[in-house]
Amino acid sequence: MAAPSGGSSRKRKAAPRGERGASAPLYSDGDDVIPGEVIVTLRPEAAEVMTASVPLHPAARGLTDVGTLGVPDIDEVLTRLGAHDITRLAPPAAGMARTPMALDGVPEPEESTLGRSFRVRIDAGVDTEEAVAQLDALDEVEIAEPNRWREASVIPNDPQFGSQWGLTKINAPAAWDVTKGAASVIVAVIDSGVDLDHPELAPLLVPGFDMVDLGPNPTPRPGWRFEGDFAGRDSIPEDEVGHGTHVAGTIAAVSNNAVGVAGVGWHTRIMPIKALTRVVRISDGAVSGTGSSADVAAAIRYAADNGAHVINMSLGSSSSTSVEASAVAYAISKGVVVVAAMGNDGSSTPSYPAAYPDVIAVGAVQSSEARAAFSQTGPHIDVSAPGVGILSTYLAGGLATLNGTSMATPHVAGVAALVKAVKPGLTAAEIGDILRSTAKPLKDAAADPVPNDKYGWGLVDASAAVLKARGPIVINPTLTVKLRTPIVACPPKTIDLANCGIVRTTIQPQCLEVRTVTKACPVTPTITKTRTIPTNPGQPAGPGAADPFGVEQGGGYEAGFAAGYAAALEELQSGAAGDAYGGELFDE
């Protein structure tokens, strides 16, 4: 479904309210435009000839001194609009704008698109839609669009694994028999940041970034005010909302340590990227997280370029932007699994970034596996996960229980990380296919299809997903079975039979067989001693001459051998002799 371009005069029916006193979203279709900001993406040929030096990040106070791009026709309009504080959304892609492939009609890499995109702050008295129209009419401009608000998809409610019903519901304990996650797998949490000192999270964090850049005096929604760190980017993604910390703890937490909560992954690493800042409702002090699509796009690009394997975005609003869509496509092109929340207004209106192509969109279910009333629906939903009464990490090293598709999404991102840990070579598309194909089918009526617009393919199943990723265990070339506990074969054993009779081997717990050996007692042969007439009349007679064993006097060779054999056998049966090869007699 195409997202409307928006307009402040457009009216919408109020969105359904969620569970447990849930409030409507901060922003709805048409009123999520950030006043005084536009995003401009230049055409490749214009980007090649621009002369202005535009920084990637603003200065410490959240402003730059750049007001033009060094392209005459564009600069004329920018000056008329009172443009100031221009920043890049991503580093320029050197040499990528006009490659021979691009000239031949081959699609341009998303990396190049992001490198030609800029956030431009304009005079507060200029209508944003009018500014967009003037810039978009220029031949040098590929697209001009408003910057749009994004908000955390959470519904507040308010160290115990037993209280974490969601982990049991998605079969995480069974998945832990296969893998508890790997330190080599990184999930980027693009959110309000993370409590960097939280004992359940700090050991699992990798360096992240604070991408929030709303300027020194952002204009909040009426009845709200901004607080905390919202101007200027830096390398300290400290959480001032609690939302990102809660999301991170569901994905991964230091587990099996008799403290706090467990995460879907025990060893998965978290990359905290702050794209939402703290906003407070003046009437009652309610706290939420809000940010811009431009900062979200920059955060996605940062995660993809800095080693993230999975991106979790528990945020969104009802309007799309081209820069955000390009950032998502760029991350997916680099093999990153992108997971996002469906949204919490209970409607079928698409929420972005969840509705962008190839994003794994996640809805929320209750403990009964019925859809949470606040969870948005639509044909783009992929899977569902627990999203009501979810206990996880929170600010100041604490814990909190929250509701929302924000809480469902990290369950799925955590499972994606487990799948990646089991089989690192899987592509993003393959991991998405595994999550969908192994989900437990859910539907409201027996006749409903699967997938459907309410649950997608169904409830994510961590155990089934990691088992499918691992594949079958091969015991031998002719037998292939799927096992959770490998078989240990009994080692070969030499049995010492000092006496005849029945002897059993020592039973080993991991063996599959008990060996019983029956040793028949030897039978003494009957030997008849007879005198043998020498066949050679000329053979000498007498002791030792024809009888080498000295048993028979005057007998032949055969008689002496028989007597000697009988004497030797009698000695062996008495236990007084050994084997000629130095071992025990009758070795098996």
Beta bridge partners of 339: 312, 360
Q: Which of 32, 191, 210, 382 is catalytic?
A: 191
Report how far Cα 517 is from the mean position of its chain's Cα atoms.
53
Calculate mean pLDDT across residues 488-492. 46
Calculate mean pLDDT across residues 124-147. 93
Structure tokens at 124: 């507060």
Reported as a single tens digit per residue, the pLDDT across 312-322 is 999 999 899 99
Reported as a single tens digit per residue, the pLDDT across 222-255 is 899 999 888 888 999 999 999 999 999 999 998 7
Is pLDDT of 270 > 90? yes
Calculate mean pLDDT across residues 404-415. 97
Is pLDDT of 494 > 70? no
Looking at residue 456, the DSSP 8-state letter turns out to be B
Task: Say how far apart CA 344 and CA 17 lie, in whole Å.
Answer: 8
Does this model's pTM top 0.75? My answer is no
Reported as a single tens digit per residue, the pLDDT across 272-307 is 999 999 999 999 888 899 999 999 999 999 999 999
Is 283 annotated in the active site? Answer: no
Handedness of CA 540, 542, 546, 548 (dihedral sign): negative
Q: Which of 153, 255, 384, 406 is catalytic?
A: 406
Is pLDDT of 63 > 90? no
| Helix, strand, or coil (residue 97) | coil
Q: What is the DSSP string of 246-309?
A: HHHHHHB---SSSSS---SBSS-EEEEEE--EEEEETTT--EEEEEEHHHHHHHHHHHHHTT-S
Q: Residue 499: pLDDT band by 50, 70, 90 thresholds? A: low
Please state at what angle helix 405-422 crosses helix 462-470, rounded to 10 degrees: 20
Sequence-ordered list of residues with C-beta below 8 angstroms from that of 363, at least 6 positions apart, any chain? 342, 371, 372, 375, 376, 377, 381, 383, 384, 385, 387, 405, 408, 454, 455, 456
pLDDT averaged over every residue in the chain: 79
User: What local confidence, expressed as pLDDT, does residue 53 receive?
Assistant: 86
Reported as a single tens digit per residue, the pLDDT across 540-586 is 444 444 444 444 444 556 666 667 667 766 666 655 544 443 334 33
Reported as a single tens digit per residue, the pLDDT across 77-128 is 999 999 988 988 888 765 444 444 444 454 555 566 788 999 999 998 999 9
Domains observed in the chain: 33-147 (no CATH), 153-470+477-481 (3.40.50.200), 487-521 (no CATH), 524-588 (no CATH)
Is 243 annotated in the active site? Answer: yes
Q: Which of 153, 192, 239, 243 is catalytic?
A: 243
